[in-house]
Homo-oligomer: A and B are copies of this chain.
Amino acid sequence: MCVAKKILFVVLDGAADRPTVAATTPLKAATTPFFDRLAQDGILGIMDVIAPGTPPGSDTAHLSLLGYPVDKVYTGRGPFEAAGVGIKVRPGDIAFRGNFATVKDGIVVDRRAGRIDDTKSLSDAIREQLDLDCEFLFKESAGHRAVLVLRGEGLSPKITQTDPKHVGPFLYSKPIAKDASARRTAKIVNDFTRQVSLILGNHPVNVERSRSNLLPANAVLLRGVGSVPHLVPFEKRTGLKAAVIAATALVIGIGILTGMTYIPTKGATGHIDSNIDEKVKNVNEALKRHTFVLLNIKGADEAGHDGDFNAKTHFLERVDKALSNLEIDDETLVVITADHTTPISLKEHSGDPVPFLIRGQGVRADQTSVFNEYIAATGGMDRICGRDIMPVLTDLLGKGVKFGA
């Protein structure tokens, strides 16, 4: 008989929205014949990715959608970013996101050091000269970004960050728990800050930047501190052999930390100019060797953060067109959803439910034939929680975990 065998899980990052003055959303305004055909063949619903009214981060959202209990495993974004840029983090490591920044007389004057885009030799210098009271790993990432990982016994994520998040006085880290580990970790972080300031202050790159009237990258601000969680591998939880296709380090890192195979995509930028067609090709290939493919497409979130209705709408139309080249038969359950709402009106994540659709064998197809926030709310799945969607999907594959006899 007919039971689906694979899952393609598409996350349109931040695609959901609230109505603007025109009483519509980008997803409602966009012409999306492919999504609508999936809606017609499938079942729709709305989903509280974390909880009603709670704006999810992209990190907690993806963990929740993959079925992990975020309230137990999540302490911060750093671990996932670190894994996503290729650091082999271990459970218990303390990881941070970092920004190369410009600090002058104790004031952060530019959090991105004039959007510096090559920090390789600065990072080399940090790696060579830094001497901390614990093992550490430091790695540059895209643009002004970097990650720091502290490793060993007696460390804690219970400390404040050094990134003020806006122009203003530089911050020192403080423990927020009354234990020796937190005190020690804050001390190490402040030591990192002092040493990095010395290492970068007179680095040839910065001397040259000052000479060219560019802001020097003379500090590294830390944020997103978290302890690397022990995550039961996704394959062990679900029996599915999984791959992740994404452009952002965060989502890649979540894939890697849950044991998925990361498939890089040429030209995938995480911006609205991303090469979606290339991602679709990768998905089609990946579905031949995997039973679960997580595809994250980031652009709509970016447009939402920029408050650009038209850019978000057009990007979603471009995604719809690109995804119409997916090679998916009825044996592949297709999920289309968002990890959170990023309203044009807020330019930030919100806690509105996101729309979702499931299409494939065994699905109780409903009467809907359009995919957007409004129609999804009338769909046959009604309203579920983010953590419930993976059990629903594995159950559709006939792999539900029975409770009772």
Tell me the A residues contacting B by CB distance below 8 Å: 1-3, 18-21, 23, 25, 46, 50-61, 70, 74, 76-77, 224, 307, 343-346, 348-352, 361-367, 373-374, 377-385, 388-395, 398, 400-405
Q: How many copies does the complex hold?
A: 2
Cβ-defined contact, A52 with B351, below 8 A: no
**Alpha-carbon distance between A331 and B308 when the two chains are bound, in angstroms:** 22
A-B contact pairs, 11 of them (CB 8 A): A53-B392, A53-B395, A54-B401, A59-B405, A74-B403, A77-B404, A345-B362, A345-B398, A351-B395, A364-B377, A374-B380
Cβ-defined contact, B18 with A362, below 8 A: yes
A-B contact sample (18 more), CB < 8 A, given A57-B403, A58-B404, A383-B383: A1-B20, A1-B344, A1-B345, A1-B346, A2-B345, A18-B364, A19-B365, A51-B391, A55-B395, A55-B400, A60-B403, A70-B404, A345-B398, A348-B398, A351-B400, A374-B380, A377-B379, A381-B383
**Alpha-carbon distance between A70 and B405 when the two chains are bound, in angstroms:** 12
Residue of B nearest to A362 (CB): B18
Contacts of A374 in B (CB 8 A): 364, 366, 380
- A345-B3, A383-B384 are known contacts. Are A53 and B402 too (CB-CB below 8 A)? no
Cβ-defined contact, A54 with B395, below 8 A: yes
**Alpha-carbon distance between A382 and B375 when the two chains are bound, in angstroms:** 12
A183 to chain B, nearest CB (A): 24
**Alpha-carbon distance between A380 and B377 when the two chains are bound, in angstroms:** 5
A120 to chain B, nearest CB (A): 26
Cβ-defined contact, A57 with B405, below 8 A: yes
Residue of B nearest to A41 (CB): B23
- A60-B404, A364-B18 are known contacts. Are A54 and B351 too (CB-CB below 8 A)? no
Residue of B nearest to A97 (CB): B405
A292 to chain B, nearest CB (A): 15
